[in-house]
Structure 1
Amino acid sequence: MTRPLALVTGGCRRLGAAICIALADAGYDLAIHSSPASAPEEGLSERLTAAGAAWHHLTADLSDAAAVEALLPAVHRAAARWPALLVNNAARFDYDSPETVRQSGLIDHYAVNCAAPVLLARALAAIASAGHPVAIVNILDQRIAAPNADQFSYTLSKLALSEATTILARQFAPHVRVSAVAPGLTLPTPDYDAARMARAAARMPLELLADPAEIAEAVVYLARARAVTGQTLFVDGGAHLRHYPRDFLYLESEGGAS
């Protein structure tokens, strides 16, 4: 049988690369999207090939409406078939707050983090049928359960995508399933050293941070769960059960969680 095709946006590095590896191991071929300036991280090609996956790398600026519209046709040209799975993983993540937010920041985050995923979902739903059912998995953020004011534009855009997940699950059934995974802190940025990551883990109800493979495992589950739609799986060490008054990076100077 032909392996099903998955399109993963932002799939070249970090969490996106982990998702691609997990899907390859689960029997998918990959269409891996990145921004025009990005390329697959070291070792990704070898892991996908070892899993027996055919894969294609495509670039598109998800803030550009024309580029978003052209992405699925480009996937079809490259792979000679339509995806059976779309993972909306690509995201813009900049710092702002209610005191510093600008219209441009709100629009830029919304374009990449909500508008592009919704438009890609709509385009894929248009070619779905009983003979070609489709699954869509949106990558959210655990902060949607109890938002704080840090990364304000990013947070609002993820809240919008969370609500869109529910609406699209209703609208696109029965041949399209739309669900989401909400990760917590997982891969450190340059702001986090090992000690700071350990302190963040200690703040979680489970006193641990999910690793990328566990988040990717949740994506694989939702891709295959034919009776599941409109659901969000939190993979976050239990972080969504608490209210953190600030982003984890700033909690050390301002107390803990409630």
Structure 2
Amino acid sequence: MTAPILITGVGKRVGFYLAQHLAQQGQRVIGTYRRQYPQLQQLDALGVELHQCDFNHASQLNELLTTLKQQPAIRAVIHNASDWLPDGDADTAIAIIDKMMRIHVSIPYAINLALTEQLKANNSMADIIHITDYVAEKGSKKHAAYAASKAALHNLTLSFAAKLAPKVKVNSIAPALLMFNPDDDEQYQQKALKKALIAKEGGEVEILNAVNYLLQSQYVTGQTLKIDGGRHLV
């Protein structure tokens, strides 16, 4: 049996897209999700092994890791699970940044350490891929806690790349605008599009292409692939 790819947060958007298309490519996929979504039935039909896990609960995380450590080997871990909370006031500041750091830093850190032996046991090179964000380098006026946590996740990429080489490659993918939300109005969309040289939604396929590139590479580690339409030049 081939070693699986673990993807966190497969219930919607990018995580769902990655799980769906990697499974269709013939990869064996394990996915985690926090709550039920109708589209999870599509992943189940494709043979994706699904585990419900709320990463805010230590007991659920421990149970998940116990199950995953029974795998003889793991081909890759893709840390996609995320949350996007706006900054609050002094009364909510600690709670917000704690939540952002937990989902974007503490959980990937714990999973990487827990599954190190399974990754190293893969027949060929294994991969850890952190989905970070364009704002990890730029910061954010309204989502400072989120941006800080994604910057910390990028730093984990550097540390784990050095720690796990040469058997495990560790890289980041840093997207900007991939797709609008259904409730984003026209004014917001036009304002957002003007922030990039390529003024359009990138789409989930850009992340899939980046993931496939990293999985196929035998010589890239400790790097960040920026999927941002050239925002840094605007």
Asked if these proteins are the same fold (TM beyond 0.5), I'd say yes
1: CA distance, partners of 2:105 / 2:60: 15
Q: Deviations over 1:131-163 (max 9, x none)?
A: 544211010011112112221211111010011
Q: How far off is 1:198 after superposition? A: 4.2
Please give the secondary structure, in 2, of the residue aligned with 1:228: coil
Counterpart of 1:146 (choices 133, 138, 145) is 138
Q: Which TM-score applies when normalising by structure 2?
A: 0.88
In the TM superposition, 1:105-254 aligns within 5 A as 105-129=96-120, 131-132=122-123, 133-193=125-185, 196-239=188-231, 241-242=232-233
Q: Which residue does 1:246 correspond to in 2?
A: none
Verify the 8 A CA contact 1:72 1:120 in the aligned structure 2: yes
Verify the 8 A CA contact 1:109 1:153 in the aligned structure 2: yes
1: CA distance, partners of 2:227 / 2:174: 6
Q: Deviations over 1:228-256 (max 9, x none)?
A: 111110112112x15xxxxxxxxxxxxxx
Q: Which residue does 1:41 correspond to in 2?
A: 39
RMSD: 2.4
Q: Which residue does 1:17 correspond to in 2?
A: 16
Q: Which TM-score applies when normalising by structure 1?
A: 0.80
Q: Does 1:91 align with 2:82?
A: yes
Q: How far off is 1:42 after superposition? A: 6.5
Listed as ranges, the gaps of 5+ residues in structure 2 are none
C-alpha spacing 1:131/1:32, structure 2 compared with 1 (3 Å) = closer
Please give the secondary structure, in 2, of the residue aligned with 1:90: coil
Please give the secondary structure, in 1, of the residue aligned with 2:200: coil
Q: Deviations over 1:143-200 (max 9, x none)?
A: 1121122212111110100111111100111211111111112222244135643442
C-alpha spacing 1:151/1:131, structure 2 compared with 1 (3 Å) = closer
Q: Deviations over 1:190-219 (max 9, x none)?
A: 441356434422331122231111112111
What percentage of aligned pairs have identical amino acids? 24
Verify the 8 A CA contact 1:144 1:159 in the aligned structure 2: yes
C-alpha spacing 1:203/1:100, structure 2 compared with 1 (3 Å) = farther
Q: Does 1:65 align with 2:63?
A: no
Q: Does 1:104 align with 2:95?
A: yes
Equivalenced residues, count: 233
1: CA distance, partners of 2:3 / 2:122: 13
Verify the 8 A CA contact 2:73 2:122 in the aligned structure 1: no
